[in-house]
């Protein structure tokens, strides 16, 4: 998976460490990193801000892998929300799209995001899920409506660059 110029990508141990740091900074319970062989694994997070800097209202792309045998995803609105974010409300019906040589289910959702400084904003989320026999891959893009227009080319480049091994 390629990241657009000016964006930052974290994967593997660096990503797990960053999630832990953010949980501590926000004073929230640590989600911990899933044990080896867990039914879902956070694979990558791509952002417009550098690790360690304040996120602010910047777009984020999160890629997660799901074990179909232990966490079987479907393609209904509730399944797609569960794989993307459970605190969002559906803004469009699921549709089928193609990129990276595969078919994906896509759902658009809206979510109220509260920041530590007390400011909240409405974020739009595009949730994409593709299934195989043994796994599913979920991609969630979170941004404001304006950012979806401004960064559409970057989002599409990331989605098109996903390869399957």
DSSP string, 15-29: HHHHHHHHHHHHTPP
109 within 8 A of 123, measured Cβ to Cβ: no
Please write the tens of the pLDDT for every residue from 108-155.
Answer: 888 777 666 777 778 888 888 888 777 788 888 888 888 889 999 988
Q: Which domains does the chain have, with CATH numbers?
A: 8-161 (3.40.1000)
Question: pLDDT tens digits, residue range 41-99?
Answer: 778 888 887 566 655 567 888 888 877 776 655 556 666 666 655 567 777 888 899 88
């Amino acid at each position: 998976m390629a990241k657009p110029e000016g964006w930052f990508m974290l994967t593997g141990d660096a990503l797990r460490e960053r999630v832990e740091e953010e949980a501590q900074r926000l004073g929230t319970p640590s989600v911990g990193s899933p044990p080896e062989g867990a039914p879902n694994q956070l694979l990558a997070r791509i952002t417009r801000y550098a690790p360690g800097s304040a996120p602010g209202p910047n777009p984020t792309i999160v890629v997660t892998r799901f074990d179909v045998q232990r966490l079987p995803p479907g393609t209904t609105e509730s399944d797609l929300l569960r794989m993307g974010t459970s605190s969002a409300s559906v803004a469009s019906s699921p549709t089928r799209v193609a990129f990276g040589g595969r078919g994906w289910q896509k759902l658009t959702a809206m979510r109220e995001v509260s920041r530590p400084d007390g400011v909240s904003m409405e974020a739009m989320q595009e949730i994409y899920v593709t299934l195989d026999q043994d796994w599913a891959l979920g991609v969630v893009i979170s941004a404001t409506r304006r950012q979806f227009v401004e960064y559409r080319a970057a989002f599409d480049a990331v989605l098109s660059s996903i390869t399957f091994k």
